[in-house]
Structure 1
Amino acid sequence: MSREPVTSTLLDLLERGAAEHPALLEPGQPSLSYAALRTSVRTLAGQLQAAGIGRGDRVAIALGNGPEMVLAFLAVASVASAAPLNPKYRADEFAFYYEDTNAKALLVLPGTLEAARAALLPGMRLIEVLPDPDHGIVLDLPAAPFQADQAAQPDDVAMILHTSGTTSRPKRVPIRHRNLATSATNIIETYQLGPADRALCVMPLFHIHGIVASLLSTLASGGTLICPSGFDALRFWGWVEAYQPTWYSAVPTMHQLLLARAERNMAVIRAHPLRFIRSSSAPLPPVVMERLEATFGAPVLESYGMTEASHQMASNPLPPAPRKAGSVGVGIGVDVAIMDAEGHMLPVGERGEVVVRGGNVVDGYENNPEANANAFTHGWFRTGDQGYLDNAGYLHLTGRIKELINRGGEKISPLEIDDVLLRHPAVAEALAFAVPHPTLGEDVHAAVVLNTPVSEKELREHCTRSLADFKVPRQIHVLESLPRGATGKLQRITMAKTLGITE
């Protein structure tokens, strides 16, 4: 059953950690206790309030991973609405997001991000984040006491994010404190997180996955967040050895990069075993799950997340409950169902659109009634993903509806083809995709990155042993790398265009 909204704010979540317990660890720096974290967030929040920033205002944050980003995000969300942005954006991209969110200010580190500064709109305030030995960071604003009576409430928007917008203008997703608190609570329940847990944060903290799964669920459970400056497949093993995390959450691309270096780091893996590994934000090919479990000796739990649901919608549970390769698990605190195009619920085993509801799901897109009419049916949020539920209630995804390959009326899941190609020992990465076809409408192609030479003919023959003929890629393109978005998500829907393939 879905959980009713947890009527807490992010400040409330921070109160759960024991005062002297380490809340935040940055490699090479002293740890920050929960008492110091709470003091720092309130100090920053008071500075923002005194500068005239309050409930309903939007504040852009362009900071890399690290304690500065954690503290700045929590402080902004406590008194206004945070708009975390990818620090790698170009000036025109910053300008778009400032304007689209009606940002009142921008937070950056001194001497960084000229593109973000150059794009400031008239009336926007530039606020620099400064290091401080007592509080972790302060802002280049006058000190002022925190006004608790003016702080954000559970119904206030804590964070404004955007959909990826691959085919149209990105939509604004306002995520309220109660949505984030509910999602963090669901994640804590799913993985039985507690004060003894240490999460290694490798996902970017401008992304819902990093913010909710790594940051908020850890701090709301009283655990410790290990927060390096970003993902680094070379330095990862040193962090594991030094800080002994109990888990980490990442996208499949990151898991694959770690697998490529795991063999030379087996001593670290054996000396510091993880309690579990979490995967989300993109489909995890079953073969990658199998290799991860064999290498790390820890359960790999694939989950299912989306910005509009404040990240987690379903997950494979911890042992002894079964975890199923190729499934994203069950809804925990979230209702998950399958719906047809007309809005009718479908029975177990039938494919249709995945729909969800619960206190973690946002109320709707901002100022976009047309998008809301399309996205919500009878109180259920339509995810845009196709899938089915098995007899045990586990959700199996068969692909984004807009990414399914429609070859002469046959609907083909590219995920199935990805997994088959990845089982060939020469293939490091694989991505099946649709290309235009004059008579079939669409045909199947695939792109691969190889770790040893192999012919296209051999790869196609490998596919024919596991796939029906109409699913076998008509052409397999060998690339140096696969195109990815800012968070490592593969860009399947634009592949034909990227490679210049037309009818």
Structure 2
Amino acid sequence: MNLADRLHAAAHRLGGRAVLTLDEAELTYGALEELSARLAGLLRCRGIGPGDRVAIMLPNVPEFGVVYYGVLRTGAVVVPLDPLLKRREIAAYLGDCGARLLIAWHAFAETAEAGSAGTKADCFFVVPGEFRRLLRRVAAEPAIAPAAPDDTAVIHYTSGTTGRPKGIELTHGNLGGNAATVARMHALGVDDVVLGALPLYHTFGQTCSLNATVHAGARLTLLNRFDPGRALEVIRRDGVTVFQGVPTMFIALLDHPGASDMSMLRVCASGGAALPLDVLRAYETRFGCEIIEGYGLSETSPVAATNRGGHHRRPGSIGWPIRDVEMKIVDEDGREVPSGEIGEIVVRGPNVMKGYWNDPAATAEAVRDGWFHTGDLGRVDPDGYFFLVDRRRDVIIRGGYTVYPREIEEVLYEHPAVRQAAVVGVPHPELGEEIAAVVALRTPVDGDELRDFVRERVAAYKYPRRLTFVDELPMSPTGKILKRALTP
């Protein structure tokens, strides 16, 4: 089934109900279906058909849904791009996937045009108001292109900044199945309002917010960009029941002076990075709501495992695999390790990507015997709960001892003065690597005091010898701390 069929089915049932809102702007299911069909008609007139790549560079606006489902409706492939990309990044992605068209938000027109120059992609700009007037002059494309489960629907590019960009091919089966699973696990229904704080160009926001909302017939209320005060305002104004976010969002809300009781939130789900246990506990004690932590990567569409609510939740863990998905912990030779031992997390199931676009060598390296090798280190307890330990590339070897940065970060977050923390290894002439911490504070604290706080709680070789205080840690657009951008 084409992902656009999900919208078509929902529009048939719920035509007059709102599906995408942004403050006063609103799209009903019926309007989203009609406008996406007209966008498909426009694309057909431009010669876009099955298998063609169409890049979209749009922020969190209702028009994103129109373009996304309109492209899929033609059988073409969506290539979502961060609207804040620079010219050379845009050129690299467009050139790599051979995009025929770039549909961009009007505010980024200059950069989009510069990035597309010299590629095969034409540019089309979305201007509010004018966009709808244009589409109303175009005949709707009545048919939805048929799609097999293994037909590529979306190519997501990895966030790495070095080497050749890798495009993750996700199929209609990958994305549709994952969205349906999320909707089922969260018991999403027509009365739910989902906070659209996650970027829609990213897999997390696309699957868990947009596609899961449409699958369930719920409503997605959008934020152009995440701001804790604005998020609180929208949660209360629109009666949000489901909040999916990354740890930095939950931390920012925790620190906001206007935050109070949030027990109206039926589901709070965290992913994208490890959630500090101290934050999870604070939400329960201060706000009266439970955060469910999950795990996944863009290559797994993205959800691979998650906690379940109530007594099925194990704080600090990423839960257990979702339906039809398998996970295990393996050593460097691919052999499964005993319970409690640390190894690499590998995933197998219908959520695993088709492969990396035009990169069979990278695909063969990542997917072996059907198992996707995540590069993440974890362990599993005797009850089958998985725990994320760290990224393999982030592990620090200090004087022959292995140090997992996440363990030290968890301790730093326990200190009431710490708002954000990242631990990295820095070169050392004798030890190989030394442990350094970069910290943003909510209240002043002396460096020696913070260092002693950690030293009292971990082995002597683990505490950070170097401490750097900053106002804010560098973040990716999806809310992950960019360790490669730190200068400890």
2: CA distance, partners of 1:59 / 1:199: 27
- Is 1:124 matched with 2:111? no
- Percent of pairs with identical residues: 38
Query: Which amino acid counterpart does residue 327 of structure 2 have in structure 1?
Result: V
2: CA distance, partners of 1:167 / 1:128: 29
Deviation track 1:229-270 (CA, whole Å, cap 9, x = no partner) reads: 222222112211211011111111111111111x4242xx45
Alpha-carbon distance, 1:166 to partner:
4.6
Alpha-carbon distance, 1:153 to partner:
4.2
Query: Which amino acid counterpart does residue 102 of structure 1 have in structure 2?
Result: G
For structure 1, the 5+ residue unaligned runs are 1-7
1:37 to 22, 26, 32: 32
Alignment match, 2:404: 413
Query: Which amino acid counterpart does residue 114 of structure 2 have in structure 1?
Result: A
Deviation track 1:249-308 (CA, whole Å, cap 9, x = no partner) reads: 1111111111111x4242xx45x7100211111111111111122232111011112010
Deviating above 6 A after TM superposition, structure 1's stretches of 4 or more consecutive aligned residues are none
1: CA distance, partners of 2:122 / 2:148: 24
2: CA distance, partners of 1:10 / 1:69: 15
Q: How many residues were matched structurally?
A: 482
Alpha-carbon distance, 1:98 to partner:
1.2
Alignment match, 2:393: 402
**Which structure 2 residues correspond to residues 234-253 of structure 1 after superposition, within 5 A?**
234-253=229-248
Query: Which amino acid counterpart does residue 92 of structure 2 have in structure 1?
Result: F
Alpha-carbon distance, 1:141 to partner:
9.8
1: CA distance, partners of 2:21 / 2:54: 25
Verify the 8 A CA contact 1:47 1:141 in the aligned structure 2.
Answer: no
Alignment match, 1:294: 285
Greater CA drift, 175-184 or 15-24? 15-24
**Which structure 2 residues correspond to residues 12-31 of structure 1 after superposition, within 5 A?**
12-17=5-10, 18-19=13-14, 20-29=16-25, 31=26
Alignment match, 1:274: 265
Alpha-carbon distance, 1:159 to partner:
1.0
Alignment match, 2:2: 9
- Is 1:354 matched with 2:351? no
**Which structure 2 residues correspond to residues 82-481 of structure 1 after superposition, within 5 A?**
82-110=78-106, 112-122=108-118, 123-131=120-128, 137=132, 143-146=138-141, 148=143, 150=145, 152-261=147-256, 263-266=257-260, 269=261, 273-319=264-310, 321-333=311-323, 334-481=325-472
1: CA distance, partners of 2:383 / 2:241: 28
Query: Which amino acid counterpart does residue 48 of structure 1 have in structure 2?
Result: L
2: CA distance, partners of 1:152 / 1:61: 20
2: CA distance, partners of 1:138 / 1:365: 38
Helix, strand or coil: the match of 1:193? coil
Query: Which amino acid counterpart does residue 328 of structure 1 have in structure 2?
Result: I
For structure 2, the 5+ residue unaligned runs are none
Alignment match, 2:477: 486
2: CA distance, partners of 1:308 / 1:141: 37
Structure 1 residues 36 and 153, CA gap change in structure 2 (3 angstroms): farther
Helix, strand or coil: the match of 2:389? strand
Deviation track 1:438-490 (CA, whole Å, cap 9, x = no partner) reads: 22221211111112221111011101221111111111111121122222211
Alpha-carbon distance, 1:356 to partner:
0.5
Whose RCO is larger (CA < 8 A, sep 6+)?
1
Greater CA drift, 124-133 or 61-70? 124-133
Verify the 8 A CA contact 1:128 1:140 in the aligned structure 2.
Answer: no
Verify the 8 A CA contact 1:78 1:152 in the aligned structure 2.
Answer: no
Alpha-carbon distance, 1:173 to partner:
0.7
Greater CA drift, 396-405 or 341-350? 341-350
- The TM-score with structure 1 as length reference comes to 0.91
- The TM-score with structure 2 as length reference comes to 0.94
Alignment match, 1:4: none
2:44 to 32, 44, 49: 49
Helix, strand or coil: the match of 1:137? helix
Deviation track 1:379-426 (CA, whole Å, cap 9, x = no partner) reads: 100000000111221110110011011112222111111111111111
Alpha-carbon distance, 1:128 to partner:
2.6
Alpha-carbon distance, 1:161 to partner:
0.9
Structure 1 residues 204 and 165, CA gap change in structure 2 (3 angstroms): same
